[in-house]
Amino acid sequence: MLASRYRLLERIDAGGAGEVWHARDERLGRDVAVKILGGDADEAFRERFADEARRAASVSHPNVVTVYDEGRDGDDSFMVMEFVRGKTLRDVVRERGPLPSHEAARLVSQIAAALDAAHEAGVIHCDVKPANVIVDERGTAKLTDFGIARAARGPREHELIGT
């Protein structure tokens, strides 16, 4: 049990920065994904991880994985997100090969909509790639992993500046 709330069910992925788990939010009764940094991460990395959670949580869009919570439990820093049943776009392409043009166009359109929502929230993703897009069981693309995103600075292209 993580933070006396999240029951870890199954490890989904592991990498150099930590692990992602399918978990159950016992308080709200829903499945979630939990990204956990191990205890060996330094304080600066933990703060960047918390920043990632805050940036991602500021973006609300059907094609962006929703962030619900972030925090610490003992030596572990964690981020709680919407659990999406599906595969990364990278895995979909590896399994199926090139996608039909109509399907690729639909996914690209959804990813573009996710990026537009992020930009409207003042967040630039900075790492859009097939491994950071989950295609759910209905074929909907969801952008995830805002780990190296940054806050947008200055006016956006469509804004007028000056007098």
d(CA 32, CA 44): 26
Does the annotation count 127 as an active-site position? yes
Q: In what order do the strands lie in the sheet with 86-88?
A: 86-88, 133-136, 141-143
H helices of 19-98, in order, are: 43-57, 89-96
Among 13, 75, 116, 127, which one carries the catalytic annotation?
Answer: 127
Phi-psi group of 67: left, alpha or beta (phi > 0 → left; psi -120 to 50 → alpha; rest → beta)? beta
Q: Which residues belong to the active site?
A: 127
